[in-house]
A and B are shown apart, each in its own frame.
Chain A
């Protein structure tokens, strides 16, 4: 390095230091100084662009970014800096181009080849990745690049929307490449895994078997669970069920392997001759199977004998054997199942998992069910040790599981709730001295009692039972501070009761972090806008949305890096898994449900102006064509409800609806159409102004259907995920859109005018007009002069009457026991009004109205708005009035009285009073906040 270069290097170092410590401003200042001296220096420009991106000065950064890209950099430092710039701008495709150019200029530079490959990986461009890797393999002769080609080909095949035929071709290509490798795949277990998975995709089972049945294949499978998983599949597909069974027997007997998969292999082998369900088995096959059943039973009995109480697998495998024997009509003893169940209870009912273990063997009916119930009853339900307590809990759960609908009556459930509560309180003694970080052994009894109360609520619709459940669970949380089950149940119940602040408190106590936000945030964020006082500036739930959203940003920033790491370390088994993981988060249903909730709150909170309309429109359009994945965890909530009844999760859904794809689609369509009408950005403008990559086109959307048509499509199936009031909102927005569409289209400024304005703004900010923008000559004031002004049409009845009708509905509901329904209606009316605001934004502008001769329309809209505001004001008053009746001494007393069962059981009256106070106060606050919010919106838009 020359002396000058060393000096420059020393001068640039402070820029890196500033960037590392987040002092972007100082980085920019230093870069500016250096650029005076070295005005054409690409690295300094790239670093300045990076500092600008990080300071959110996007337009200024773009100018520099373009300049550097034009220089086609090849130096590692510049490329790295630019990589960060382009990532910050969401321009992965440009990153690919940049590295492509660099590699083209220095085709012997292996590192640039690798970077070019990785840029494609980051952008999920598997086809180009495959081409780059092929080139690199030819040039550098490293087997690693051959395998990169192979996995890129596989990923291309597995991409959403790859046609079946092409998929097969790609797998064949991948296969050809693997076998062309000079070193066999088995030298590395990960390459071996990739090879096997391709063979499986191509149904080349014999080839796969041959590889696996070799000494080296067996060796790999002995220490590699992933390869062994594929091996099991191959053996099954090849019909080697007996061999697999024999080998499993060996593992179970000689190596004490207790992996349930081995037991399943033995069982599969036992019944292998009866596997063909299409035909009746021959007598011979039946005889063979009978003999095998006897052998298998002997094997499992040996396991039972050997393991004793140490391991429950043996006894469970006997149960599974009997279950399967019965399914084939080969059980030799009709009492066998019951006997085994009884034996299991005797041996393992003190294990907390006993209830779960037995569930699939206790789907009994008729006499057998009766026998089972008698056995359960025959056990003692008293306890003097912790193990006995655990046994009682299991017995009660198992009893409950098999309750018939006729046994779930008001009286019987009341008695059960009392029994569970009583046992719970007795059981607390075993945890009296535990540290606060531990769970009480009796916890599940409290959950059982809460479950019973929810049943009673479902039977009677009496909210008093929910109060009791809440009081009891709150008590359980005092005793067992870390019980996440109790917390989750409480989140659900408080939402049903219209006490969102309490739900949030418990949700926060779960300390949900990182990826858990994806699977759990729906507990608190589902339909959260109806509980939000965003309109009066309370952004609690809106911030909760932003916090939950972090994981998606982390995913887009980090997961790609780990995919690249997996490539570098050649962990081929992980790459498709990581890609799936990234995709499931990137295109998460919950992510976009949160987005919709956040938008609903934002519109209530902020003054609606065209900037918001434009920004939200662009974001929603990006989301619209995603193929969404639902990763929400619905299994985490315990359910001890009888199998004849819906589970706890289903029972406690707000409005009995689990919103999913249909809900999201409907609201996306609603808002995109509404925002699009309110916005000046048409597709051509958007195309020119938008920075960053566009979402990939979905191959399954018919090309002849315009976005507008798709937005107007109505799916009855999707609407099932909406409440009746939400459906009314959809109808309102649809009618409004249909009515105003032609006026919007007429009055919207010409794209050239919008672009010219954008360019002007950019120039003001950065000193440069927008690059690459050829603004067509504008034809005067923007609107299409040749067209006639659309004739004024009266608004549809649905729109005119909507607000009156919804207010009437609100009045009918406002005094109901739970305020949730009324609150929901209020939220929907508010939302309808905000939609009206968005749709009528353009026609508030007097110049636009005059220029386009839309006076009649503006007057008509005004009268609808005036009427809407009058109705909203009444609703606001209604909510505030209702809030005043919550959390009074009287209402608290009523709450406590409803909890008499809990208090009679021994839970302190004052404790329950405290629960009542907090719960009712939360209710009061939400009603008051929402009521005031509506009032504020009314004031805001009366004058505005």
Chain B
């Protein structure tokens, strides 16, 4: 029971119930406006029938040549609306648009290596680890999860333009790169 609709600039006035959650970053307005001024079709919201925001995704299209792809910059769901498959629905849209409109070769996203639930969820959606990025989330010191908290998995899912699946590889977890190499 959720409405999938485009993310609008004025949603910034409505997203507190999502963004007050500790894992969701609130960026400067320029961040959201820059996504909307370039890739409005890759940014969408899930909303409850009474108009409350449940989650949103912000994405972009980037890369050159066979690296041209859709990228999930932020995906988040409010705590009370988790475990309802909302993220999957938003990912479906982002994949559809990346595939059919942008004609990307794949969609990729970054996720904390420690976030097992999320990694498994993305695997369930057809994503696989392409590489591990050292200290992508900054060096946190000796946190609870250690390196797994600092490092990110770059996960990819090939789209129809990559029928031979050249954008993914089976041993991605063993391929380690530094954060500078990807940004």
Residue positions of A touching B, CB distance < 8 A? 189, 222-226, 229, 258-261, 310-313, 316-317, 351-353, 356-357, 360, 435, 437, 439, 482, 484, 510, 513-516, 518-520, 551, 554-555, 558-559, 561-562, 565-566, 569, 571, 573-574, 577-578, 580-581, 584, 631, 633, 635-636
Contact = CB atoms under 8 A, between A and B. Distances in A.
B63 to A, nearest CB: 18
Contacts of B16: 516, 519-520, 633, 636
Contacts of A633: 13-14, 16
Interface of B: 1-6, 8-10, 12-14, 16-17, 19-23, 26-30, 33-34, 36-38, 40-41, 44, 48-50, 52, 79-85, 89, 93, 96-97, 100-101, 144
A636 B6 contact: no
A524 to B, nearest CB: 14
Given A316-B1, A356-B80, A189 B41 contact: yes
Contact of B38 (A316, A514, A569, A577): A569
22 contacts: A224-B41, A225-B44, A229-B6, A261-B5, A313-B2, A352-B80, A352-B81, A352-B82, A356-B48, A356-B52, A356-B80, A437-B23, A482-B21, A515-B12, A515-B13, A554-B28, A566-B36, A581-B33, A633-B13, A633-B16, A635-B17, A635-B52
B4 A559 contact: no
A435 B9 contact: no
B29 A558 contact: yes
Contact of B37 (A435, A574, A584): A574
Contacts of A259: 2-4, 89
Contacts of B2: 258-260, 313
User: Which 9 A-B residue pairs are closest in the complex by CB-CB distance?
Assistant: A562-B33, A581-B9, A484-B20, A566-B37, A565-B37, A316-B1, A225-B6, A636-B16, A482-B22
A633 B20 CA distance: 12
Contacts of B6: 225-226, 229, 573
Contacts of B38: 565, 569, 571
Contacts of A565: 33-34, 37-38
Contacts of B5: 225, 229, 261
Contact of A312 (B4, B14, B84, B89): B84
Looking at A312, A313, A514, A573, which has the most chain B CB atoms within 10 Å of its CB?
A514
B20 A636 contact: yes
Main secondary structure of the interface of B (DSSP, over half): mixed
B37 A580 contact: no
Looking at A223, A311, A357, A571, which has the most chain B CB atoms within 10 Å of its CB?
A223
Given A222-B100, A515-B13, A631-B13, A577 B8 contact: yes
A516 B38 CA distance: 23
A584 B13 contact: yes
A660 B3 CA distance: 31
A516 B17 CA distance: 11
Nearest to B49: A260
B53 to A, nearest CB: 10
B29 A514 contact: yes
Contact of B21 (A222, A484, A562, A569): A484
A555 B20 CA distance: 21
A258 B89 contact: yes
Contacts of B8: 577
Given A189-B41, A259-B4, A515-B29, A562 B22 contact: no
B28 A514 contact: yes
Nearest to A558: B30
A472 B40 CA distance: 44
Nearest to A636: B16
A616 B145 CA distance: 53
A352 B26 CA distance: 24
B36 A574 contact: yes
A157 B36 CA distance: 23
Contact of A351 (B4, B49, B83): B83
Nearest to B34: A562
A743 B83 CA distance: 71
Contacts, number: 148
A437 B144 CA distance: 11
Nearest to A632: B13
B82 A261 contact: no
Given A518-B13, A635-B17, 10 more contacts: A224-B101, A482-B22, A561-B30, A562-B34, A566-B37, A571-B37, A573-B6, A580-B10, A581-B12, A581-B29
Nearest to B89: A258
A352 B54 CA distance: 12
Contact of B41 (A225, A312, A554): A225
A186 B150 CA distance: 45
B9 A437 contact: no
Given A225-B44, A562-B33, A562-B37, A261 B17 contact: no
Contacts of A435: 144
B83 to A, nearest CB: 6
Contacts of B23: 437
Contacts of B9: 574, 577-578, 580-581
A516 B20 CA distance: 9
Contacts of B17: 635-636
Contacts of A510: 20
Contacts of A225: 4-6, 41, 44, 93
Contacts of B52: 356, 635
Contacts of B81: 352-353
Contacts of B1: 260, 312-313, 316-317, 357
A571 B36 contact: yes
B29 A555 contact: yes
A351 B34 contact: no
Nearest to B14: A633
Contacts of B28: 514, 554, 558
A360 B48 CA distance: 12
B10 A581 contact: yes
B44 to A, nearest CB: 6
Looking at B13, B36, B38, which has the most chain A CB atoms within 10 Å of its CB?
B13
Looking at B3, B29, B52, B85, which has the most chain A CB atoms within 10 Å of its CB?
B29
B3 A260 contact: yes
Contacts of A224: 41, 97, 101
Contacts of B26: 513-516
A223 B99 CA distance: 10
Contacts of B33: 558-559, 562, 565, 578, 581
A578 B144 contact: no
B40 A573 contact: yes
A518 B82 CA distance: 27
B41 A226 contact: yes
Contacts of A561: 30
A499 B20 CA distance: 23
A940 B41 CA distance: 61
B37 A551 contact: no
A580 B84 CA distance: 32
A578 B19 contact: no
Given A565-B34, A577-B10, A584-B10, A516 B41 contact: no
Looking at B38, B50, B81, which has the most chain A CB atoms within 10 Å of its CB?
B38
A435 B117 CA distance: 15
Contacts of A558: 28-30, 33
Contacts of B80: 352-353, 356
Nearest to B53: A635
A707 B40 CA distance: 44
Looking at A310, A313, A351, A581, which has the most chain B CB atoms within 10 Å of its CB?
A581
Nearest to A315: B1
Looking at B16, B26, B52, which has the most chain A CB atoms within 10 Å of its CB?
B16
Looking at A225, A352, A584, which has the most chain B CB atoms within 10 Å of its CB?
A225
Given A226-B40, A518-B13, A631-B13, A352 B4 contact: no
A259 B46 CA distance: 9
B37 to A, nearest CB: 4
A519 B13 contact: yes
Nearest to A629: B13
B73 to A, nearest CB: 16
